[in-house]
Amino acid sequence: MTRIPLVGGNWKMHLDGQGAAALASDISRSSGSIEGEVELAIFPPHPYLSMVSAAIGGSGVHLGGQDVSDEPSGAFTGQVSTSMLIDCGCSITLIGHSERRHGLGEQDELLARKVRIALDGGLRVLLCVGETLEERDQGRTFDTVIGQVRGSLDAVTLDDMSRVELAYEPVWAIGTGRTAGPAEAQEVHAALRSELCSRYDARSAARIRILYGGSVKPANAAELMACEDIDGALVGGASLQAESFLDIARATARRE
Ligand code: PEP
């Protein structure tokens, strides 16, 4: 089954409003040349979502939240709900990024509630999983990422899976300049797809995109994206400049 790759730019807590709108305009202006070959999504800081939504206009670049609340509304200071993200123009949200799992201690049980509420409210979900260096060194990579998938997708049905994508992001590769080698990444992606196959079915496992994230740059994108089970990239640092983000997208679009 052919999967159109997805390349996402996670802007984290970078940029100001003007810079975010300018970056979004630059990306969307150039996105037409790779339309149909790769999908693009950008994940700006929440306060800039509406500005960025206006800047991307009808270009086809998807807009996403970096996180979403597990509650629909109410007294939850600082949180942002699914309907708020949709109001601001989002069609997708990240859930379980390592800076929330490991940085803020978010556990699978909470992430499963976020996944459920986001899907119920009409968003697509890009669920992030990944092992720490310690877990990798102890030979626990597969157990860790498969455990995260099982825990975070606890309440997700086969029907829901048409709106779920995964990102494998080894924690030791995020923002460190260290990347998993293509073979190292491919074996985890293949294990994740096989887990999806036993948990759901072969058809949905073959359709779901599994992105790689962790220090992806224009220089290493092509070899990673050429792997059979790598269906795009989630990019942090290199997504903050339109040219490097688009170079990664072009390398992904050209994958053999
Ligand atoms: C990320 O934040 O998801 C990420 C992969 O960051 P970086 O590309 O900077 O490693």
CA of 236 to the centre of ligand 1 (A): 3
Q: What is the pLDDT of residue 35?
A: 84
Handedness of CA 208, 8, 186, 140 (dihedral sign): negative
The Cα 236–Cα 224 span in angstroms is: 16
pLDDT in tens, 146-169: 999 999 999 999 999 999 999 999
Pick the catalytic residue from 62, 97, 99, 106: 97
Ligand 1 atom having least distance to the Cα of 12: 2
8-state DSSP, 62: E
Whole-structure pTM over 0.85, yes or no? Answer: yes
Q: Which residue has the tokens 């810079």?
A: 19
pLDDT for residue 207: 96
Among 87, 174, 68, which Cα is nearest to 130's?
Answer: 174
Average pLDDT, the chain: 96
3 state SS of 41? strand
State the average pLDDT over residues 37-59: 97
Q: Is 232 in the pocket of ligand 1 (CB under 6 A)?
A: no
pLDDT tens-digit readout, 204-232:
999 999 999 999 999 999 999 999 999 99
Residue 220 beta carbon below 6 angstroms from any ligand 1 atom: no
Q: What is the pLDDT of residues 92-131, one digit of tens each?
A: 999 999 999 999 999 999 999 999 999 999 999 999 999 9
Q: What distance in angstroms lies between residue 214's CA and the mean position of ligand 1's atoms?
A: 5
Verify whether ligand 1 is closer than 6 Å to residue 9 (CB atom). Answer: no
DSSP 74: S
Atom of ligand 1 nearest to the CA of 128: 3
Evaluate: CB of 170 within 6 angstroms of ligand 1: no
Helices and strands of the chain, counted as H and E runs: 11, 8
The alpha carbon of 70 and the centre of ligand 1 are apart by a number of angstroms equal to 24
* Predicted pLDDT at 204: 94
Check residue 2 and give its pLDDT.
83
Share of the chain above pLDDT 90, in %: 93
Does residue 169 have an active-site annotation? Answer: yes
Q: Is the pLDDT of residue 256 over 60?
A: no
- pLDDT attached to residue 179: 84
Question: Is the CB of residue 92 below 6 angstroms from any atom belonging to ligand 1?
Answer: no
Residue 254 has pLDDT above 80, yes or no: no
Name the E strands within 169-248.
210-213, 232-235
- In this predicted model, what pLDDT tens digit does every residue of 57-106 receive, in sequence order? 999 999 999 999 999 999 999 999 999 999 999 999 999 999 999 999 99
Residue 255 has pLDDT above 70, yes or no: no
How far is 65 from 9, CA to CA, in rounded Å? 11
